[in-house]
Amino acid sequence: MDINVRKFKASDAEAVASVVAKTLRESNSKDYSQEYIENEIRQMPATFFIDKAKQTHFYVFCDQQKVIGTGAIGSYWGSTTEFSLFDIFVLPTYQGQGIGHLIIETLEQDTYFQRARRVEIPASITGLEFYQHMGYDFKDGRDVVDEERLYRLEKVRY
């Protein structure tokens, strides 16, 4: 499999929204209710990703021309030394094939990550073990989900 990595373009927005919806419905359904998932999907239409790409370095991961994964890195609440990872999704049929690792590696090579003192990720219950494997630990040692039903993980670089 030859995966093409590139910056998000507005023309990718519908495909990205589809990848996110499919992944949430199939991969996250064991950890979240259908109501929760559908609410998340409603909050992330194609226009959401166009706006997100204006505020972050947003990447798409393609198998030939098909968008199969996404990931972004952006400022943590306006900081110039702290950043967050966002919208890390891999189509279910491509999970377990190293695409998630490629997304994290790509984001960790980004200029934002390279200048970061600390990088945070709001991790789903479903993704927790993967992010821990990639070196992210519980922020402030808090190993419980927050009000958004997400874990707050971080990687402190220095």
Output the domain CATH number for residue 126: 3.40.630.30
**Strand blocks (E) in the chain:** 3-7, 56-63, 66-75, 82-90, 118-123, 137-138, 151-156
Q: Extract the residue ranges of the chain whose pLDDT is less than 70.
A: none
* Domain range enclosing 66: 3-156
One-letter amino acid identity for 31? D
Q: What is the pLDDT of residue 95?
A: 97
Angstrom distance (rounded) from CA 87 to CA 52? 9
Please provide the average confidence, as pLDDT, over all residues in the chain: 97
pLDDT tens, 2-24? 899 999 999 999 999 999 999 99
- How many structural domains compose the chain? 1
Please give the pLDDT value at position 78: 94
